[in-house]
Amino acid sequence: MNFPILSSLILLPTIGAVFLLFSKDKNSNTGKYVALFTSFVNFLISIYLWYLFDSSTSNFQFVENREWLKGFVNYKVGIDGISILFIILITFITPLCIISVNNTIKVRLRDFLIAILIMESLMIGVFCSLDLVVFYLFFEAGLIPMFLIIGIWGGERRVYSAFKFFLYTLLGSVLMLVAIISIYWIAGTTDIVQLYELGIDIKYQNLLWLAFFSSFAVKTPMWPVHTWLPDAHVEAPTAGSVLLAAILLKMAGYGFIRFSLGLFPVASEIFTPLVYSLSLIAIIYASLVALMQEDMKKLIAYSSVAHMGFVTLGIFTITQQGIEGSIIQMISHGLVSAALFLCVGVVYDRIHSRLIKTYGGLVSVMPKYSILFMLFTLAALGLPGTSGFIGEFLILMGAFKDNFLVAVIASFGVIFGAAYMLWLYRRVVFGNLTNKDLLKIPDLDNSEKFILWSLALPVLFFGFYPEPLINTIEVSVYDLIEMYNFNLNMFGLEVLK
């Protein structure tokens, strides 16, 4: 098709943001309806894109290539089976975030909605980019609206958390920019498709891999550069936490697949033990730290570190099951972590406390909330029948195929995950209702029920029927692994996978 559908997906939220910018009332509900309409239309376009997508080929589709910065870089976008699911996740989560601002954002609502819409545009651009420079621009520009969301609408320590988030992620990406410039001088192009065909000289791969790793490790976040995440989550407003957990963390996982494996296969083979070690530490360490938390948001933040440890582990098994499992785990985590942060936001809006000890016995006053919270808790610990199980199961299958010891150690993360999530649920929902303030709080309102059920349905659907996800990514993942092994063979290395 000749219609620039990907550019439309990228630009439409920004057009909505510009429209809001010129509206007069900073706290008008009209602005919310405009933002909601814009994001919902974008979601429908992304579903139509999925309908048009041909999953039988790994070639990039809907490619747009326009000259920009002549002689250096082109504006080039396109999607394959790996990237399209993340685009749908973004366009699905964004309108839910906009609906959730009903009870959370009391001041400068228009500005908050502008930040969310611009962020949607930038995040979609990350997963569409087929040029390293364009990818980098979208990748780093996403820091700005999130920095503002935390710094303006966050909690008491919002300025500290915002600057910590910004500095960690920006400094981690400086080396990636240097690496992109180096790739241009080595290969004469920053076009990702051309770089796949040309390959990167083996003598440069290790340094380039480490440069990209420095950025992706911070954004994932991997141990020990994960400390910005709990602070950012605790201080961010609910919608900010949802976007951070559901989307921003996935950009790094996508980067590992697209660039670390795609461009630097020899270096990826060499550094796989390093990634395994850091992933296992993240899974076990973050799970144990989560068990000690008294703040609900901080507990869920550490659970995200552990879940992303499973993702990086699965990616570097370089197996069909492992990489497919990592992608599905990222999609599932995007849905489940968003729902968990929204569940915390529901009770925080009523009591204004995130401390676990404030609650207890909620099942007697908020039964509808308790049922949905239970569903997302079970999905987070990977219960069969939920989307969380599919991703973890495939990752562990890939890990057992590649390294038995690594898989055994990672399996303990599943046990710890059940421990901290069930411990959280028991203390918040069951037990005696000792806090008399809880007697006055209402159960879910209509907008909260709509948001949480909108997340619950795909969690259950893909838990029982993951075929639409697997069919979309299967060919692209298979050809990525084939290209990876071909490049190893070309350099005369023994392929053990």
Count of structural domains within the chain: 1
DSSP 8-state secondary structure symbol assigned to residue 495: P
Residues 85-122: pLDDT tens digits?
Answer: 999 999 999 999 998 887 677 778 888 899 999 999 99
Please report whether residue 497 resides in a domain: no
Please report whether residue 391 resides in a domain: yes
Rounded-to-integer distance, Cα 335 and Cα 452, Å: 10
Residues 44-54: pLDDT tens digits?
Answer: 999 999 999 88
Helices (H), 129-201: 132-141, 143-153, 158-187, 192-198
> CA distances (Å), 61 to each of 50, 51, 76, 330, in order?
11, 13, 12, 22
Please report whether residue 208 resides in a domain: yes
Give 30 or 34, the one with higher predicted confidence: 34
What is the bridge-based pairing of β-strands 61-68 and 73-79? antiparallel
Residue 496 binned pLDDT confidence (cut-offs 50, 70, 90): very low
Please report whether residue 392 resides in a domain: yes
Please report whether residue 167 resides in a domain: yes
Residues 387-429: pLDDT tens digits?
Answer: 989 989 999 999 988 888 988 998 888 889 888 899 989 888 8
Please report whether residue 18 resides in a domain: yes
Cα 129 to the center of its chain, rounded Å: 17
**Range with the largest mean pLDDT of 206-210, 238-242, 358-362:** 206-210
Are the beta carbons of 447 and 338 closer than 8 angstroms? Answer: no
Rounded-to-integer distance, Cα 295 and Cα 393, Å: 29
Please report whether residue 496 resides in a domain: no
**Average pLDDT of span 328-353:** 89
Whether 70 shows a pLDDT value over 80: the answer reads no
Domain that holds residue 79: 5-490
Please report whether residue 495 resides in a domain: no
Whether 267 shows a pLDDT value over 50: the answer reads yes
Whether 18 shows a pLDDT value over 60: the answer reads yes
